Amino acid sequence: MYPYSDYAKHYIIGFIYTRNTDADEGAIYSLDDLNTIPVPYKDVEVFVQEKYKISGEKPGSGNTENIESFKTRNIDYLIYGEGPFSELGEAVYENYWANYPKYRARVREYTTIDEYIAWKEDRGDDMTCEKRIYEYWKQSHEE
């Protein structure tokens, strides 16, 4: 409702689950069966985290500009906000996504954090610290 910059913080409510294959999509039940209807999800984990701490380096899909969370097999990395920008910082996150190419852009200056760092260096910015931080993050979050 308000401009992005009007908000002091941006939070995500994460909802992670396993699909329940016992739930029958499209099945019709009577109201008498309400308490026995299998839900389509199980093993639910809910968490709240600052957006930049769980954001990844790619859009959520190929035809939008939504930011996806970083890919991981370790749910704790999401719960505790251990994404790449959590180490690089909110200012790097904001700059990365403010300059990220739109999904219909013909020219793409960068599409990864490594390419972003090179792009910033080409513009004269010293990214030595960010390079070191990001390399350490990648090594400590290998799966």
Structure confidence by residue, pLDDT tens digits, 35-51: 888 889 999 999 999 99
**Total structural domains within the chain:** 1
* Backbone angles phi and psi of 138, in degrees to 5: -60, -45
Q: Which phi and psi angles does 42 have, rounded to 5°? A: -150, 175
Rounded-to-integer distance, Cα 135 and Cα 130, Å: 8
Q: What residue numbers bound the domain in which 45 lies? A: 4-140
pLDDT value at position 64?
Answer: 61
Which CATH number covers residue 128? Answer: 3.40.600.10
Q: How far is CA 103 from CA 65, 67, 84, in A?
A: 6, 12, 22
Spatial separation of the C-alpha atoms in residues 84 and 88, rounded to whole Å: 6
- pLDDT (0 to 100) of residue 68: 83
46 contacts 99 by C-beta, under 8 angstroms: no
- Identify the pLDDT of residue 62: 62
Residue 76: per-residue pLDDT:
93
Residue 133 buriedness (CB in 10 A; 0-12 / 13-18 / 19+):
middle
**Alpha carbon distance 126, 130 (integer Å):** 9
Per-residue pLDDT for the chain (143 aa), expressed as one digit of tens each? 888 889 999 999 999 899 998 888 888 989 998 888 888 999 999 999 999 999 999 887 666 667 888 888 899 999 999 999 999 999 999 999 999 988 788 888 999 999 999 999 999 999 999 999 999 999 998 76
Tokens 């403010």 locate to 98
